Copies of this chain bind each other. A is one copy, B any other.
Amino acid sequence: MSQHRPGGLSELPEATVARLPEYLRALHGLAEAGHDTVSSEGLATAAGVNSAKLRKDLSHLGSYGTRGVGYDVALLIEQIEYVLGLTQHRAVALVGVGNLGHALAGYAGFATRGFRIAALFDADPAQIGEVISGLTVHHIRELPRIAAEESISIGVIATPAGAAQAVADQLVAVGVTGILNFAPCVLSVPEGVDVRKVDLAIELQILSFHEHRKAAAGSAGPTASLTALPGGMAGNGASGGNQEAVGS
């Protein structure tokens, strides 16, 4: 047969990488439910995607499905965990144990899904020394020492936006090359460092757009255009001129 040579990790399409964790979660669920094998259709449903897409995704890993049967659940879990680099539980540093940081520090999903919170950091003297879920909060200035001891590879930033860039710089300085940023700001990092951002407000605003769109479609008919645009005169009088986009 083709043998296909899985190529390199670099050849995995980014969109596929983003879905593998979802497949993994679904597979763990299936394994707990006692399934030994699963069809692409079954797994696709559990993961909320199209089955053809799922098959194509899995084929990129060199895929060990069996025609007429499906995929071996345990084997597939192992494959995906390997590809994602989860076989070693990576050490994660969490910086900023405020409102959100406390919740994250106590989150069980860290450990159960391939990670280990290795250390907590903050800059506020009042927080230093506090123990959260068995972990002591260290001053951020201890980051270099602890990063070396624990071989931190991923950093999570849960500080206010104003401090995020400075924290990112410090993380990069101690060798962290993957950052998950909860602060609502753009981080600038050297090439080779990956940043992913989670912003609650952005998610809500995207939902809001769809609410708005649905409402407009309902009230103004299927051809609804940008009705009642704020026009141009509000902020400043300049550039006025031509905003007759109203009503239609």
User: 0/1 per residue, A195-209, Cβ < 8 Å to B?
Assistant: 010111111111111
Q: Report if A235-B194 is in contact (Cβ < 8 Å); known contacts: A17-B206, A21-B206, A207-B178.
A: no
Distance to closest chain B CB from A53 (angstroms)? 14
Docked CA distance A229–B46 (Å)? 26
Q: Answer whether A196 and B207 are a contact pair too, CB < 8 Å, given A25-B184, A78-B234, A100-B103.
A: yes
Select A225's contact among B7, B153, B217, beta carbons within 8 Å: B7
Minimum Cβ distance to chain B for residue A82 (Å): 5
Partner of A153, one of B211, B217, B238: B211
Interface centre among A9, A62, A184, A248 (most CB of B within 10 A): A9
Given the interface contacts A20-B209, A203-B180, A210-B178, does A9 sit within 8 Å of B229 by beta carbon?
no
B223 touches A207 (CB 8 A): no
Most buried by B among A47, A72, A201: A201
Cβ contact within 8 Å between B83 and A226: yes
Q: How far is the CB of A98 from chain B (nearest CB, A)?
A: 8
Q: How large is the interface on A (under 10, 10 to 19, 20 to 34, 35 or more residues)?
A: 35 or more
CB neighbours of A95 from chain B (8 A): none
A224 contacts chain B at the CB level, 8 A cutoff: yes
- A85 contacts the other chain (CB 8 A): yes
Given contact pairs A205-B86, A208-B85, A200 touches B243 in the complex (Cβ within 8 A):
no
A7 to B75, CA, bound (A): 50
Which residue of B21, B74, B194 is within 8 Å of A205 (Cβ)? B21
- Main SS of the interface on chain A? mixed
Contact, CB under 8 Å: A242 / B3: yes
Give A216 to B5 CA distance when docked, in angstroms. 16
A65 (CB) vs chain B CBs: closest residue? B239
Query: Is A56's CB within 8 Å of the partner chain B?
Result: no
Question: Separation in Å of the A235 CB from the closest CB of chain B?
Answer: 3
| A/B interface sample: 13 pairs, CB < 8 A | A5-B225, A6-B229, A7-B226, A8-B216, A12-B209, A20-B209, A46-B186, A75-B232, A113-B204, A115-B208, A180-B203, A192-B214, A194-B207
